[in-house]
Amino acid sequence: MSEEIRIVIADDHPLYREGVARTLDEDAGLSVVGQAQDAKAAVELAERLRPDLLLLDISMPEGGGLAALRAVMAWDAPPKVAMLTASEEDDVVMQALKAGALGYILKGVGARDLVAVVKDLARGQTYVSPALAARLLAAMRGGKAKPANPLDDLSKREEEILRHVAEGKSNKEIGLALDLQEKTVKHYMTSILQKLHLRNRVEAAVLAREHLTR
């Protein structure tokens, strides 16, 4: 990723889209390199411009944000993608995260917070709007009652690895930090996801941020 974070925004409401673009462009470390009004244009722009981060609305013409997300994530080297939307439906949130979105940002976010979140996402960290986090955790567990701390079943090493996952680190980066082989970290991650009944790293990061103390 270049020193300046390059962003493409897709939203079918031009006033909102242009306002977000101005907000991000005002930060010296961010640059909006393209804007799209529908899902098809978003995919085409992302393919041509290869941004560091693609921000997608859920509700757009030409298939919607989820369709664009799935199309982009099918590439060999996709950009980082986050949803920036008004939709708070649990099923939609889960679909987006399962499809590979690193973040799910609600449109009520303030300008300063949006800039901070975008920078975190571009570094590979995950983000789910706080208003959705508790509901997401409940949805991940099928609405079943959960223990006070669902991480209690993890070993100390698994908890340590999960803490690094919550910081947005890859298996390779975690291995370097903990002096472990990458394949060993991958084995631990499989065990962590199985123990916590989760499907992917984003869900693991959300759970970790909710329950791990720093």
Domain co-membership, 65 together with 99: yes
The answer to whether residues 156 and 122 belong to one domain is: no
Does the pLDDT of residue 145 top 50, yes or no?
no
Same domain, 127 and 154: no
Say whether both 31 and 95 belong to one domain. Answer: yes
Query: Do 131 and 51 share a structural domain?
Result: yes
Domain that holds residue 50: 5-138
Tens of pLDDT, residues 14-24: 999 999 999 99
Predicted local confidence at residue 67, as pLDDT: 94
Say if residue 79 is in the same domain as residue 161: no
**How would residue 156 be classed by pLDDT, with cut points 50, 70 and 90?**
confident
pLDDT digits (tens, 9 = 90+) for 187-199: 899 888 888 878 8
Count: domains in the chain: 2
Q: DSSP readout, 118-155? A: HHHHHTT--EE-HHHHHHHHHHHTTT----S-GGGGS-
Residues 27 and 119 both lie in one domain: yes
pLDDT of res. 168 = 87
Asked if residue 129 and residue 155 are part of one domain, the reply reads: no
Per residue in 167-188, pLDDT (tens digit) is 888 999 999 999 999 999 998 9
Same domain, 118 and 46: yes
CATH of the domain at 65: 3.40.50.2300
pTM: 0.67
